[in-house]
A and B are shown apart, each in its own frame.
Chain A
Amino acid sequence: MLAARNSGLVADMESMLHITTLHYLVLGAALFLLGVIGVLTRRNVVIVLMSIELILNAVNLNLVAFSRLWGGVHGQVFAIFVITDAAAEAAVGLGILIAFFRNKETVNIDEVNLLKW
């Protein structure tokens, strides 16, 4: 019984020490969740935009991990496209932030309520 449990533990340790694609996926999921929590709970627009960058990076990590798994470079190419999108999004988002700050003198996202019903 104990030996069986021990061997199970050893197998667990070995699976912990052998880094598979699943490890990268779990890391990406954790990073994604951190980004989601940041987007949903923070009030500072700058930090909300940074949380979106965290989310995009989690996606990139998944793409590159799958690219490694399947032995091609297509996932890496898509990661480059995602980085391009992140650059475009950051430029426009920060431009909107500057326009917003100029009008309202604040970076609090709760005060972006012009379209609120």
Chain B
Amino acid sequence: MAPVATPFFFYLLSAIMLIGGIAVITRKNPVHSALALIVTLLAQASIYLMLYAPFVAGVQIILYAGGIMVLFLFVIMLVSIDRSMKERQFNSQWVVGMIAATALGGLFIAVYTKGTSIFPDHALAVVEDNNTQEVAKVLYGQYMFAFEIASLLLLVAIIGAVVMAKKKI
């Protein structure tokens, strides 16, 4: 099914994402930041749907908004945020940070204005009814080895998280 009113929804979702992103980096309370980040992630999942990537959109909602953000909220509940909320929120090198970010933005603009000519003019035809099958074929075929390495990475991460959270390290 082709997306309807693409420009309207693109700008709406972009606005939600950017406002959510700004809220993430400006809020004092980390819980508010986490909730803003969830809004951003859900808007991004909708943008994945507009890009004919329903499987990635589902993974984004289940894993990111449902899994990783719950982990974040758990940890926020475990550490005491009362003290950090009374402190200054931005560090002393924020001017340098803003300059570095502006330079990076200028770099992006330069790359995008010079580099768009190598893109094809129109998006190529895309399989949309069996997206999950296509993803699975590529994931378990061509990228089988990378998939196994990813599972190993997750095992390492589990062990690392358990060791780090132990009482005596």
Contact = CB atoms under 8 A, between A and B. Distances in A.
A88 B30 contact: no
B164 A36 contact: no
A90 B68 contact: yes
Interface residues of A, number: 75
A68 B51 CA distance: 6
A43 B90 contact: yes
Nearest to A43: B91
Interface string B86-120: 01111101101110110011001000100010011
Interface string A60-80: 110011011111111011011
Contacts of A79: 53, 56
A108 B63 CA distance: 27
Interface of A: 16-19, 21-27, 29-38, 40-44, 46-47, 49-51, 53-54, 57, 60-61, 64-65, 67-74, 76-77, 79-81, 83-92, 94-99, 101-102, 105-110
Majority DSSP secondary structure for residues of A touching B: helix
26 contacts: A21-B119, A24-B47, A25-B112, A30-B18, A30-B21, A40-B96, A41-B25, A42-B90, A50-B30, A54-B21, A64-B56, A68-B52, A70-B124, A80-B56, A80-B59, A80-B139, A85-B150, A87-B68, A91-B157, A92-B157, A92-B161, A98-B164, A102-B167, A106-B84, A107-B81, A108-B87
Majority DSSP secondary structure for residues of B touching A: helix
Q: Top 8 nearest A-B pairs by Cβ distance?
A: A95-B164, A40-B97, A71-B124, A88-B157, A38-B25, A95-B161, A34-B21, A41-B94
